[in-house]
Structure 1
Amino acid sequence: MTSPHQPGAAPPPGCPAHATAYQHASADTQAPVKLYGPDFAADPHRFYAELRQYGALAPVEIAPEVTAMLVTDYRAALELLHDDATWSKDSREWMTTVPADSPVMPMLMWRPNVFYADGPAHVRYRDVIVDSFKLVEPHELRARVHHAADTLIQRFGAHGEVDLIGEYARLIPLLMFNNLFGMPDSYSDRLIEAIAGMLDGTSPEEAKAANDAFTNYIMELVGSKKAERGPDLTSWFMDHPNALTDEELIHNVILTMGAGNEPLANLIGNALQRMLSDDRYYHTLSGGALTAHDAIHEVLWNDPPLTNYSAHFPVRDVFFHGTWVRKGQLVMVSYAAANSQFDTTSLGSPGAGGGSHLAWAAGPHACPVKRHALLIATTAIERLTAWLSDIELAVDASALQWRNGAFHRALVALPARFTPITPDQAGATPWHNRDSSPSSSTRSEAISTERPPASAH
């Protein structure tokens, strides 16, 4: 627990016993465990088991020369995520201690958006996002997913094989956000190429070109909506009573796209991997004992798409669950480690009212649009497996590779094969009847569309 000592939780100066205790309990005396590299990507849970030997917090290295404390305990994670008086999201002081070109800087660099704001500023940004997404009707959102899914399946349906990550899971969110934020379908490929370049670029030149392309896309998006509003998220962000400045608008649009794209793509990919690898879901995906909803639920507990994040910085030195943490030090939450540590004896059964997974984080900074994300992921998987009911892995499950990095749990590729489909074959195909799915195995989740007052969040 957080120490009751008042500001400056460090031990009093001149006290040898307390100074020794501080030294032994401080993160500075412990060798950090690397959360990157092929070994970590292949089996992160082995690393989490090792980290738990340190206690509720463990020293980690998330990139060369960048260290952090990682919360691996479920109760400690909940306490931190709900305590915005002790823990700040503002990373500006911490940024001065890290190489400016560190690969983790894009995930942790301060910006005027909902991720990095505290107090009233955070509430103000969050209201804009929550209230705007509430205007997206669930039946309309589902129809948009159908359209995006059918568009992609048309591209590979006749081939009989597909990489479900590169050709489906990673692209569905981008098609959705291009549409939801108000850009014509003709802009989708521009957004896809820009995001792909930022994720997969192998040189600084490629990364810069991709970042420039994404910046140009965002500026055109905002410029078009300044000229003419529409029934879209960008326009609703602009017209919200909280009156975002141009800078705030751009950064919150970028944040919403980025925060929605990568985790949602990983959620779809990880759930498909589970469904294609586990006999409980199969022999045919459309007729298995378990559903897409079950696969998503298992992924959120066991392989959350965003595994380690919720960056926080203590506003003072604090003694937290047995470890001294220095003011301004980076502390992150491991959703994956905390979930796997879930003590069903003391906390109850996961998902049965005794506790909730942390894949969406918790507290004031919990994901503001998780129900929309769940609807998109579930519908995307159902649409795919309805059209390609005999789809199966094209390689042994043990041959699948996971992407390197401390933040995400994501497959490099998910090769699959199926009976080819063509637009001229008998019966329904993705080229026809876009407004109705051929089958559905998951109960739809209702989304409230009532718009609350801005002060409700």
Structure 2
Amino acid sequence: MTTPPSAAFSRPAQGSPVDTDGPRVPMYTAEFAADPHRVYREMRSRYGSLVPVELSPGIPATLVVGYYTALRIRNDPDHFPADPRTWQRDIPADCPVLPMMKWRPNPLRSAGDEHVKYRQINTAGLDPVDQYGLQNTVAKIAVPLINSFCAAGSADLVRQYAFPLAFAVLNALLGSPAVIAERAAKGMAAIFEGIDAERGNQGLIAALTELARLKRAEPGDDVTSRMIQHPAGLSDMEIVHQLSTLYGAGIEPQQNLIVNALLLILTDERFGDSVLGGSLSTREAIDEVLFNDPPMANFCISFPRQPILIDDVWLPANQPVVISIAACNNDPEIAADQYAGNRSHLAWGAGPHACPASSMAYLIAQEAIDQLLDALPEIRLAVSPSELTWRPGPFHRALTALPVAFPESALLPEP
């Protein structure tokens, strides 16, 4: 039985997440999305570092909220592999989180030699990206987007800026034509939202299959072509699943990182004028967001091969173990007041599955924010922070909208 987060903590403590008959904390509700940090504190107080949760109705998991426990798990892929195939055998096809968690032949959902192979191919596609060229690409995309609303005096920075920017930058990196990319993005959005997720997954696969075949026939200087040309010789379907990982990481989390950092700058008196005046940097705001409101708040999923005892708690075999990146980053055992330059957060993962593109994500977010603040230095939040709403979902930390206002401004020159 699932109960609201607040009610779950009033019940007797569970001795183990294994086959628990007690309540599991639901992570898919609007209540959880509205104030997850309160729920994380209550989880830690009630259960310790390992918490029985539900990712969607009837889908149990263990959530890790202890920082050192998370590091132990992420650095032990032999006992905590990322391959979900045994788990997913008993999961209904219409489960809303299945497309987000199911096995794919890519580094995110593979273990052992398969993981090594797919990760090497991904890094071979990503590593040659020119950082200066990428910065210029972001600027060329950002300026027309800002020009589309700067004369209006108001905008929704999710819909009108962060999403289209992340979408266009990823397309440029992958060499994807807009018509294919739009279909892929629509499918990935459905997977993240968990609404009609399987149809979204099918749409994503169809679009990326078309992109893989296009790039095999007409290669270019892009990530997709480099992965296709790798000596490992991946099939079209294997290429599709590498691309699905990049679409999953390159749009939704990138968008959320930009938006969450902008929200911090617009609402926290330590930032705002300090960022615009140069005493605090955009990078410092991004670092703080990666600790407190990382774009993927709960992720880094593994599936133990057999029951295993961790922190005096038995974790069941083949049941998801999810790292709460946000909760672990704010574990009192490692709590820090200084975020700038602090890389101890888990926002990029840890161990062999750590994100291989973190420097690119930093660069894209920083350039996007700097372009906006340089163009509209008097930008402000258009509503009270209490009026903002967060999208429900067990994995992401994402605003539904970020409405802002600013003095009407002239168009910027194209870079």
Partner of 2:43: 51
1:265-414 → structure 2 map (5 Å cutoff) = 265-283=255-273, 286-287=276-277, 289-344=279-334, 356-414=344-402
1:29-178 → structure 2 map (5 Å cutoff) = 29=20, 30-52=22-44, 53-178=46-171
TM-score (norm: length of structure 2): 0.90
Please report how far the alpha carbon of residue 161 of structure 1 lies from its aligned counterpart in structure 2 after TM superposition: 0.9
**Shift in CA distance, 181/41, structure 1 to aligned 2, threshold 3 Å:** same
**Shift in CA distance, 207/93, structure 1 to aligned 2, threshold 3 Å:** closer
Task: Report % sequence identity.
Answer: 40
Aligned partner (choices 198, 204, 210) of residue 220 of structure 1 = 210
**What whole-Å deviation, never above 9, does each CA across 1:366-405 have from its counterpart, x for those lacking one?**
1111111111111111111111111111001121111101
Q: Secondary structure at the match of 1:271?
A: helix
Report the residue type matching 1:336 in the other structure: A
Q: Give the Cα–Cα distance (whole angstroms) in 2 for the partners of residues 187 and 315 of structure 1.
A: 38
The answer on whether the counterparts of 2:291 and 2:339 sit within 8 Å (CA) in structure 1 is no
Q: Give the Cα–Cα distance (whole angstroms) in 1 for the partners of residues 229 and 102 of structure 2.
A: 27
Consecutive unaligned residues of structure 1, counting only runs of 5 or more, are 1-22, 424-428, 435-457
Q: Give the Cα–Cα distance (whole angstroms) in 1 for the partners of residues 23 and 147 of structure 2.
A: 51
Q: Give the Cα–Cα distance (whole angstroms) in 1 for the partners of residues 40 and 233 of structure 2.
A: 43
Give the number of aligned pairs. 400
Q: Secondary structure at the match of 1:406?
A: coil
Please report how far the alpha carbon of residue 28 of structure 1 lies from its aligned counterpart in structure 2 after TM superposition: 2.4
Please report how far the alpha carbon of residue 145 of structure 1 lies from its aligned counterpart in structure 2 after TM superposition: 0.6
**Shift in CA distance, 303/186, structure 1 to aligned 2, threshold 3 Å:** same
TM-score (norm: length of structure 1): 0.82
Please report how far the alpha carbon of residue 255 of structure 1 lies from its aligned counterpart in structure 2 after TM superposition: 1.3
The answer on whether the counterparts of 1:27 and 1:69 sit within 8 Å (CA) in structure 2 is no
Q: Give the Cα–Cα distance (whole angstroms) in 1 for the partners of residues 310 and 194 of structure 2.
A: 39
Q: Give the Cα–Cα distance (whole angstroms) in 2 for the partners of residues 276 and 221 of structure 1.
A: 38
Q: Give the Cα–Cα distance (whole angstroms) in 1 for the partners of residues 26 and 159 of structure 2.
A: 27
**Shift in CA distance, 247/184, structure 1 to aligned 2, threshold 3 Å:** closer
Please report how far the alpha carbon of residue 185 of structure 1 lies from its aligned counterpart in structure 2 after TM superposition: 5.6
**Shift in CA distance, 50/385, structure 1 to aligned 2, threshold 3 Å:** same
How much is the aligned-residue C-alpha RMSD, in angstroms?
A: 2.4
Report the residue type matching 1:80 in the other structure: I
Q: Give the Cα–Cα distance (whole angstroms) in 2 for the partners of residues 172 and 33 of structure 1.
A: 35
Q: Secondary structure at the match of 1:237?
A: helix
Which has more radius of gyration?
1
**Shift in CA distance, 349/83, structure 1 to aligned 2, threshold 3 Å:** farther
Q: Give the Cα–Cα distance (whole angstroms) in 2 for the partners of residues 222 and 306 of structure 1.
A: 27
Report the residue type matching 2:121 in the other structure: V
Q: Secondary structure at the match of 2:51?
A: strand
Q: Give the Cα–Cα distance (whole angstroms) in 1 for the partners of residues 81 and 184 of structure 2.
A: 32
